[in-house]
A and B are shown apart, each in its own frame.
Chain A
Amino acid sequence: MRRRLSPFAPPLAALALLSATLLGPAPALAKTEIHFWHAMTGQLGEAVTELAKQFNQSQGEYEVKPLRKGSYPETLTAAIAAYRQKSHPHIVQVFEVGTQTMLLSGAVHPVYQLMKEQEIPVDWKGFIAPVVGYYSKDGNLYSMPFNSSTPIFYYNKDAFQKAGLDPNKPPVTWTQVEEYSRKIIKAGAAKCGFSTGWPSWTMVENMHAWHDQPFATKRNGFDGLDVELLINKEFGVKHIGQLAAWQKEGVYSYGGRAGAADPKFVNGDCSMYIQSSALIGGFTRGVNFQWGTAPLPHWGAPYKKATSIIGGATLWVLKGKPAAENRGTAQFLKFIADTPQQMWWHVNTGYLAISNTAVKNLEEGYHFVRNPNQYTAFAQLTGLPPTLPPALRGGKPAPVKPERVATPNSQGLRLGNFVQIRDVIEAEMENIFAGKKSAKQGLDDAVAKSNQMLKEFAAANKQ
């Protein structure tokens, strides 16, 4: 959004500044400031600023000041450095892989406790279970879910049409993904079949959850610190080995880490893509062909089906602030958890709405009928059928029985040193895809290295 400045704006601003210096701070400036460090860029960053503005206008006591501190790791590092200097913000946004680090840091003020202290009633049961579960310990919510997403399957409808495939029938199984890829390449509709973003998150973490396979011991790390990875078992080796074989033939085309492969889908090189649901908004504006979304492909029997895992980030409250300021922090968190803000956030950013009331209101407002891609992500995470059931098509939604359920394997991952572990896994995936190592060898190496990091983390956090 671009605002046009009036020609009088600069002199007016100068005048305002002058009067401010001459007259001293106006009484309106005496609000208690709540500092909020985040990592959102572009349109998402604007949405954060807007959300803070809405809160600041809704009451007169507190002023939330959002500040972007760089990427997720940079924001976390900055917050830690500030915490050690005792100049930390009240709220910091931390990505999901930093959860275990934050939980054990001794530096956080758990959200459930904050709300209890401030006597602000929040119905935690009213939030979507898989999101709350990821960030809870012993049933208590530690950080406020903020931007939640999950990987989904995107496909190029134009390329499907060109290859003689039905653009309204996306592949359901991995076997179909291979078959369709070959047809698409043969017809010259695209150079490669499919690509992936965030390789470890989409292809290892979520594929294990999606097929109800354990990623690590101790219920994926939720039950203790002495954890070991399990990704070098039959399923992991099969899936990654298959990707490596497809890489050689162009069925799969590895495009780098994080969002580096996005251009492969956007410029039409690959006709299918697995990436975060948070890209729905960006693709809606930036892609100039017909595209659709579908649930992640599945290998079929004998593997079971479960839900996918969320990604994204949550808001952590840091310790060491006066109670009066904590009250403002609590009110802000309550504000963003409320239904109107949840709906606004979801519609404007594409991140999932996480309160059941917000979801119900969205359904009643025919939101999912108009935005089927948003439904894909929501359904995948909650286990609802992949196509919008008539009962949820608006008006008065009726409850629908989920097709799949969250299991201990799909509730999320809680690992220390997870940022480095992801890096280890992705480096080994690259070695495997480049043909330097077999899938078994690469995954064995990744597991050995990760286990050592998990051990170090356990040692560093032993009380």
Chain B
Amino acid sequence: MKRTVFRSRWLPYALVLPQVAVTIVFFFWPALKSLQLSVYRVSPFGDRSTFIGLENFRTLLADPEYYQSVLNSFVFAAGVTGLSVLAALVAAGLATQKIRGLSVYRTLLLWPYGIAPAVAGIIFLFIFHPAYGVLPYFLSFVTAYEFNWLLKGWVAMTLVIVATAWTHLGYNIAFYLAGLLAVPASVLEAADVDGAGPVRRFTAITFPLVSPITFYLIVLNMVFAFFESFGVIDAVTKGGPGHATEIMVFKLYKDGFIGLNLGSSGAQSVILMAMVIVLTMLQFRYAEKKVTYR
């Protein structure tokens, strides 16, 4: 790697300063604030707060609903990550074939990423809602099966997973497209000459070569599913039925901003933060070994 040498001693610091400032204001400061909130019992208007130590954590950890939300988060994150990364790989693979109208096709594939999660949620509502959705309406002509995710928890979970994965598909496809196009044609042609079929070529050459991208996307999608999937859940199920789709970040929002229980909400965000940090570290520690960097 080429080393950049600055003449001035202060210039490099000045250049990273804006980035550091942004990180401090938008990450460290709120993180410290939640850490502080998590050990207090705060009245809604914030005029009275009592230091209660780890009481908020104790209450949370004794609450079966909280464990349910942790479990939901993992199911949700695994579902969203698996589905959107896999589907993106397949779609990107297809979009690197020699077909007519390729650029149009590629552009269309990237579109869903431009749609805000909440809007995507509303679109899915209009398709799948038991009372006014298009799909249940047409289904009712052919089958008596009621597509009622208002009461069936697993159907609701599947629905929010698919909707969230869909919103993130375009982003993943963009990365895979770039990765797949960078796979040297000469290597693939050589394998072809040696008699490797398309499946073998993919598993032996293409997939290892895009593995850094896969790894990056898995980490990113996981974090995305844990933190930023709020919009879809809020628009489609609001955590219901029961608590079937209440993932950690949604419960945190609900307890803090609707229930005005800021202490518990702070404790929840501390746990969530710790969890995602650990998860990302584990991924880097173990999964990265299987990644081939060029």
Contact = CB atoms under 8 A, between A and B. Distances in A.
B65 interface: yes
A224 interface: no
B131 A264 contact: yes
Given A84-B45, A260-B131, A459-B41, A420 B261 contact: yes
B150 A255 contact: yes
Contact of B131 (A263, A449, A460): A263
Contacts of B195: none
A255 B243 CA distance: 16
B260 A254 contact: no
A420 B259 contact: yes
B242 A428 contact: yes
B44 A434 contact: no
B152 interface: yes
B194 interface: no
A10 interface: no
Interface string A388-415: 0000000000000000000000000000
B260 A80 contact: yes
Interface string B236-248: 0011111100000
A430 B242 contact: yes
Contact of B242 (A260, A264, A269, A431): A431
B65 A256 contact: no
A73 B258 CA distance: 6
B132 interface: yes
B46 A84 contact: yes
Contacts of A177: none
Interface in A260-279: 260-261, 263-264, 267, 269
A456 interface: yes
Interface in A234-285: 247, 254-257, 260-261, 263-264, 267, 269
B48 A254 contact: no
A427 interface: yes
B151 interface: yes
A420 B151 contact: no
A58 B92 CA distance: 65
Interface residues of A, number: 39
Contacts of A456: 41, 59, 261
A427 B255 contact: no
A107 interface: yes
A423 B151 contact: no
B242 A436 contact: yes
Contact of B43 (A257, A261, A428, A461): A461
B238 A101 contact: no
Interface in B140-158: 150-153
Interface string A78-89: 001001100000
Nearest to A101: B44
B226 to A, nearest CB: 22
12 contacts: A73-B258, A105-B43, A106-B47, A254-B150, A261-B131, A263-B131, A267-B132, A420-B255, A420-B258, A427-B243, A434-B151, A460-B48
The 8 A-B pairs at the shortest CB distance, nearest first, are namely A420-B259, A430-B241, A263-B131, A434-B151, A263-B132, A73-B258, A431-B242, A105-B45
Interface of A: 73, 76-77, 80, 83-84, 101, 104-107, 247, 254-257, 260-261, 263-264, 267, 269, 417, 419-420, 423, 426-428, 430-431, 433-434, 436, 449, 456, 459-461
